[in-house]
Amino acid sequence: MMTISKILERVSSQPLLKELYDYVFHGHVKSILKADYSSIPQAKQAMLYSLGNNNSEEASNIYYTLCQRVPEKDSTWIYDDILVFLVTCTVAKFHLNKDWILKILDFWKQTIDEERNLLSTTCRNFLEGHSDLTNTYAPLLLLLVDIRGDKDIKPSLILKAFQEGWRSEPTFNLEVLNLAHIRGTELSILYSDINNYEHNRNIRLFENNFINRIEKLSKFLSLFVHFIITIIAYIIFIKFPLIKDYFGIKKILEFLISGGIGISSLYFFKDRLENYIRKILYNALGYIKS
């Protein structure tokens, strides 16, 4: 039997799964560069980022780009459990057209794989608003409901998620079901004290926004420092023409002036400065980053 610690160890060794874990458990998402939404791997990362940042416009662009793909029974990409989970979350959270993902779930249901049937049935019931819990995996459904941001959650769902979660350890082959088992069980406990849970949830959301803003501020301040260095170097070069007689100093000043915004073209210095500024901001604001 696979223990929870082994599952988490396996998850931490796979970048996308680790990012998914950070999102469903802590609300943290990793910033990404511009992604190619027609690429499944990049689309999954972009969807995860848009979910974490509540970016409905980006989520819509990603989803409707994916919708240009025609799902077919023999297409291997439609049986990606992480893709199905993220698309289900995206469609539900941002109220997008669900026809495309429902078509994919239909193909899942046609297989004889019990885990695929369990995931597809749960996702379909969630998207279509069915309240019957008979053929639904409650921990997964509770996780989906939580990500969508529902306020009124039925006690029957919370109870069933708790019962199914504590009945056994997760032993699924599909990683999404393993994560849903662990997180859904945790949510069933947290929801038993809804006021305390809402408080903790708001704290996690605030922390996520706080970290994102610190990241952006540190980048801005880094560029600002580079700009100031460039201006000072330029003033010295203009105001003190005799400096040209000193070959070494002249070359340094010319480099600073011609190097764009200070020395920002050198990523080594840029990253070091950003990290230094970030640490100063964290310390100044009393935040201890784990």
* Model pLDDT for residues 108-142, shown as the tens digit of each residue: 988 888 999 999 999 999 999 887 777 789 999 99
CA 28 to CA 205: how far, in whole Å? Answer: 8
Q: Which residues contact residue 206 at a Cβ distance below 8 angstroms, ignoring those fewer than 6 apart?
A: none
| Residue-level pLDDT at 102 | 95
- Which of 63-72, 231-240, 241-250 tops mean pLDDT? 63-72
Mean pLDDT of 158-174: 85
Which tokens sit at 175?
Answer: 């990683």
| Residue-level pLDDT at 129 | 87
Q: Is the pLDDT of residue 263 over 50?
A: no
CA 181 to CA 165: how far, in whole Å? Answer: 6
CA 261 to CA 259: how far, in whole Å? Answer: 6
Percentage of residues of the chain with pLDDT beyond 90: 34
Q: What is the CA radius of gyration of the chain?
A: 25
CA 126 to CA 142: how far, in whole Å? Answer: 9
Q: Is the pLDDT of residue 249 over 60?
A: no
Q: Is the pLDDT of residue 248 over 70?
A: no
Q: Which residues contact residue 103 at a Cβ distance below 8 angstroms, ignoring those fewer than 6 apart?
A: 71
Span of 30-34, 73-77, 95-99, 238-242 with lowest mean pLDDT: 238-242
Residues in the chain: 290
Segment (H or E) for 62: helix 56-66
**Region class of 21: left (phi > 0), else alpha (psi between -120 and 50), else beta:** alpha
| Residue-level pLDDT at 198 | 60
Query: For residue range 182-212, what is the model confidence (pLDDT) as tens digits?
Result: 999 999 888 876 555 565 666 666 777 777 7
Q: Is the pLDDT of residue 246 over 60?
A: no
How far out from the chain centre does Cα 159 lie? 28
Q: Is the pLDDT of residue 60 over 70?
A: yes
CA-nearest of 72, 58, 138, 71 to 100 is: 71
| DSSP one-letter code for 167 | H
